Amino acid sequence: MEIPGPNSLAVRTENVCRHYQMGEALVRAVDGISINIRAGEFVALLGASGSGKSSLLNLIAGLDRPTSGAVIVHGNDLAALSREQLAKYRLRSVGMVFQSFNLIPSMSLLENVELPMRFAEVDRRERSALARQSLERVGLSGRLSHRPMELSGGEQQRASLARALINRPKLLLADEPTGNLDSRTGTEIMELIHSFNQSLGMSVLMVTHEQALAERYAGRMVHLADGRLVADVSNDDVSNDDVSKKSSAPPPRGETK
Amino acid sequence: MKFYDVADLAIRNLRESVFRNSLTTMGISVGVASLVAMLSLGIGLQQLASRRLQKSGLFDTVVATSRRDLRNFREPREDGPPPAESPSLDEPARKKIEQIPGVVEAYPDIRFVTEVRFDGKAHLTMVAGVPFSAKNNNDAFDGMQGNFFSSDASPEVILQKSFAEELLVITPKPGTDNTSIAELAKPLLGRELTMRYAERTSSPSSSLGQSDRAAYSVVSRQKALKIVGLTDLDPDSMRGTARARIFLPLKLAQDLHVMQSNLRDTSASDSPSYTSLSVRVKNPNQVPAVEDAIKKMGFSAFSIVDATRSMRQFFAVLDGFLAIFGSLALAVASIGIVNTLVMAILERRREIGIMKALGASDADVRGLFFAEAGAMGLVGGAVGVTLGWAIGRLINFGTNIYLERQHFPPAQIWSVPLWLVLSAITFSIVVSLLSGLYPASRAARLDPVQALRYE
């Protein structure tokens, strides 16, 4: 996979659609979205429940395939990749953080963070050292042998972040990373994501309900409604809370805060 | 993923549901155990029969006969000289046969019907000469009462059980065989019996003249013989209707020059000529080569190795049946594996989704489930072999208690050779892997988005 330059495109979607057949009805989860994300950019995806945020994130993560249109990440059309190549893409190029942390309960934090490196066939000693470093970076060096259930939500999400970054991905995809956390812990996590975005130069695409967090940390906010892009606003342009004022698209519906 | 990581994760997963996986593994163990127990008995019985047959001389004996057939029964054969021109099966020929590589000994078959007197009563029976080597090579003499002959020419006899019963006038009740050999031996061992026989002597004054070597006289003789042993089994069991019930040392039997139908020209004592010789071969594999060598010398030769083919066939079929019945339990166990792994997929659906989101390939997930199936197969196989070994041993133990009560010598009817251990474990792993095929591919093809949504 090619290495993106500072101004090159990390992600490009071209009129991408993801439609599901649910009995008689056709659900248009993603319905013709075209966006570009530059390398190193921090983009927040906002929208109501069912607006297609997570579906779009899954398409960019290579977990799902579009019904039509293209998803091009670092110059590679994901639709053209085989299942095996998509797995490699997820392993090498993408880091994922989920709302419900998704740590494996039977493994310690260290083992959870090491897991992607097992798939990457990294040597045992090397991966142990890297996982320790990564957990140290998120402030969990004293919790290496704890199981997820023994930790607070904030600690679990930090471990999940350490795991997402372990293979040094160029793109971090976060699906409501603060959704299960109180506001103070949520802010801590956002600070971490922001600092990694700044220090490691990775692109971040974050799905969130919380407009305030998005405005504070993201460089750009993309609003979706009913599977369509309704606003794409650079944070530099945003003044106060008035999104519609700077956007050419109609204001998003639903529970944006 | 590397093999170590696959194995490590598989063992970790198996430990997570230790109770359920133990039950499944136990199912495999029972399957393997029944297979091993059945086959160990099949193999044990086969070995027992083979040992018995081998010691009876079926496997390692070639019978050499002269082509000079008095009755001219046989058709002229293409692979040797015509009967009239074939060499005489005499003492030099016997010595020459003993020189053939692989031959342990070649001895004439001495066997005659004669009268034996004991306690003033006459009994008519078949008498046979036994080579001294039979002490170690015929298992009928293994568990005998008393002793084997003290030398190759000592005036001693060994009696077969049924003849001992006849001498003591004991009639076993029909359908029972309860007279103990030890009880029979007590009044007989050390006592003497008298054998009356017809000696064939050379007859120089024959009216047919010196040149006729066939001229002989028959003289009535008798010889006192000491009873030294009593056998329960029949050392002569393969002789059919010509089975002997009294056995003499072979050298003694030869020296008696008994008039018998199958020994010719004994009058020329320097070079007796035999109609047949028993040629004992070191290894049953060498039988065909020895047979060929004897034929090349101008004699007829045959062995009964071929007769064992049907026995081997029987045991192959028996083993096949036992293996099928044993495998049935393993087949049931394999359904248990499929069930356990399908349950594991349902339970670990989200985990599979997480692994795929983190970059696990289909092959990684498939490998993981395969390894879990294989590990259950390996542990189940190892435990099953141990269990099967123990069951076989127990059956052997029980059978021997029964045999002892029935006054039979103990027998090893159970055998677990290394190849059975290894192939049972391999079979268990292969069956487990085959059972894991469907669950593993199902897990590998899970849609990660669906799997991640699963609570």
Instruction: Give B411-446 pLDDT, tens digit per residue.
Output: 888 888 888 899 889 989 998 899 888 999 999 999
Residue B151 tokens read as 């030398």
Instruction: Give the pLDDT mean for B66-88.
Output: 59
* Residue B255 amino acid letter: D
Q: Mean pLDDT of all residues in chain B?
A: 81
Q: Is the pLDDT of residue B241 over 70?
A: no
CA distance A247 to chain B (A): 32
Instruction: Give the pLDDT mean for B246-259.
Output: 86
Q: Determine which helix (DSSP H) or strand (DSSP E) holds A164, and give its type and residue range.
A: helix A153-165
Q: Cβ–Cβ of A84/B350 closer than 8 Å? A: no
Pick from B203, B247, B201: which is nearest to B220 by CA?
A: B201
Contacts of A119 in chain B (CB under 8 A): 1, 355, 358-361, 364
The residue that leads in pLDDT, B88 or A163, is A163
In a domain, A33, yes or no: no
pLDDT at A93: 92
Tell how far CA A198 is from the center of its chain: 15
Q: Cβ–Cβ of A102/B356 closer than 8 Å? A: no
pLDDT at A83: 92
pLDDT at B39: 85
Q: How far apart are CA A216 and CA A237, in angstroms?
A: 13
In a domain, A39, yes or no: no
- Does the beta carbon of A87 lie under 8 angstroms from any beta carbon of chain B? yes
pLDDT at B331: 84
Instruction: Give A99-140 pLDDT, tens digit per residue.
Output: 899 999 989 999 999 999 999 999 999 999 999 999 998 889
Q: Is the pLDDT of residue A240 over 50?
A: no
Main-chain dihedrals φ then ψ at residue B337, nearest 5 degrees = -65, -45
* Residue B185 amino acid letter: A
Pick from A231, A229, A207: which is nearest to A218 by CA?
A: A207
Q: Cβ–Cβ of A90/B449 closer than 8 Å? A: no
Q: Mean pLDDT of all residues in chain A?
A: 86
Instruction: Give the pLDDT mean for B329-341.
Output: 84
In a domain, A126, yes or no: yes
pLDDT at A57: 94
Range of the domain at A131: 103-168
Residue A130 tokens read as 């890297």
- Does the beta carbon of B360 lie under 8 angstroms from any beta carbon of chain A? yes
Q: What percent of chain B has pLDDT over 90?
A: 14
Instruction: Name the pairing type of β-strands A203-208 and B273-274.
Output: unpaired
Q: Which of A78-87, A219-228, B169-178, B346-355 has the lowest mean pLDDT?
A: B169-178
pLDDT at B120: 86
Q: Which of A152-161, B138-147, B243-252 has the lowest mean pLDDT?
A: B138-147
Rounded (5°) CA angle A224-A229-A235: 75
Instruction: Give the pLDDT mean for A35-52.
Output: 92
Q: Is the pLDDT of residue A27 over 80?
A: yes
Search chain A and give the residue with CA nearest B365. A119
Nearest to A91 among B4, B359, B452 (CB): B359
Instruction: Give A164-202 pLDDT, tens digit per residue.
Output: 999 889 999 999 999 888 888 889 899 999 998 888 889
Residue B455 tokens read as 């609570």
Residue B78 tokens read as 């293409």
Residue A205 tokens read as 């695409």
- Does the beta carbon of B3 lie under 8 angstroms from any beta carbon of chain A? no
The residue that leads in pLDDT, A249 or B207, is B207
pLDDT at A250: 41
Instruction: Give the pLDDT mean for B334-358.
Output: 88
Helical H segments across A23-108, by residue range: 53-61, 83-92
Q: How far apart are CA A102 and CA A154, in angstroms?
A: 13
Q: How far apart are CA A139 and CA A100, in angstroms?
A: 20
Q: Is the pLDDT of residue B67 over 80?
A: no
Q: Is the pLDDT of residue A11 over 50?
A: yes
Q: Is the pLDDT of residue B118 over 70?
A: yes
pLDDT at B269: 46
Search chain B and give the residue with CA nearest A92. B359
pLDDT at B360: 94
The answer to whether B330 touches B32, Cβ cutoff 8 Å, is yes
Q: pLDDT-derived band of residue A13, with 50, 70 and 90 as boundaries? A: very high
Q: Determine which helix (DSSP H) or strand (DSSP E) holds A129, and give its type and residue range.
A: helix A124-137
Pick from B339, B353, B444, B394: which is nearest to B17 by CA?
A: B339
Q: Is the pLDDT of residue B51 over 90?
A: no
DSSP state letter for A143: G
Contacts of A63 in chain B (CB under 8 A): 356-357, 448-449, 452
Q: What percent of chain A has pLDDT over 90?
A: 62
Q: Is the pLDDT of residue A235 over 80?
A: no
Q: What percent of chain B has pLDDT over 70?
A: 81
Q: Is the pLDDT of residue B213 over 80?
A: no
Q: Is the pLDDT of residue A33 over 50?
A: yes
Q: pLDDT-derived band of residue B453, with 50, 70 and 90 as boundaries? A: confident
CA distance B45 to chain A (A): 50
CA terminus-to-terminus distance, chain A: 38
Specify the 3-state DSSP secondary structure of A116: helix
Count of helix runs (H) and strand runs (E) in chain A = 8, 11
Q: pLDDT-derived band of residue A243, with 50, 70 and 90 as boundaries? A: very low
pLDDT at B147: 86
Tell how far CA B372 is from the center of its chain: 42
pLDDT at A38: 92
SS (H, E, C) chain B: CCHHHHHHHHHHHHHHCHHHHHHHHHHHHHHHHHHHHHHHHHHHHHHHHHHHHHHCCCCCEEEEECCCCCCCCCCCCCCCCCHHHCCCCEHHHHHHHHCCCCEEEEEECCEEEEEEEECCEEEEEEEEEECCCHHHHCHHHCCCEECCCCCCCCCEEEEEHHHHHHHCCCCCCCCCCCCCHHHHHHHHCCCEEEEEEEEEEECCCCCCCCCCCCCEEEEEEEEEEEEEEEECCCCCHHHHHHCCCEEEEHHHHHHCCECCCCEECCCCCCCCEECEEEEEECCHHHHHHHHHHHHHCCCEEEECCCHHHHHHHHHHHHHHHHHHHHHHHHHHHHHHHHHHHHHHHHHCHHHHHHHHHCCCCHHHHHHHHHHHHHHHHHHHHHHHHHHHHHHHHHHHHHHHHHHHHCCCCCCCCCCCCHHHHHHHHHHHHHHHHHHHHHHHHHHHCCCHHHHHHCC
- Does the beta carbon of A127 lie under 8 angstroms from any beta carbon of chain B? no
In a domain, A144, yes or no: yes
pLDDT at B146: 86
Contacts of B9 in chain A (CB under 8 A): 118
The answer to whether B62 touches B301, Cβ cutoff 8 Å, is yes
Nearest to B362 among A84, A102, A167 (CB): A84
The answer to whether B352 touches B345, Cβ cutoff 8 Å, is yes
- Residues 11 to 70 of A: which have CB under 8 A from any B CB? 58, 61, 63-64
- Does the beta carbon of A92 lie under 8 angstroms from any beta carbon of chain B? yes
Q: How far apart are CA B55 and CA B385, in angstroms?
A: 31
Q: pLDDT-derived band of residue B272, with 50, 70 and 90 as boundaries? A: low
Q: Structural domain tally of chain A?
A: 1
In a domain, A240, yes or no: no
Specify the 3-state DSSP secondary structure of A57: helix
pLDDT at B307: 60
The answer to whether B50 touches B58, Cβ cutoff 8 Å, is no
- Does the beta carbon of A147 lie under 8 angstroms from any beta carbon of chain B? no
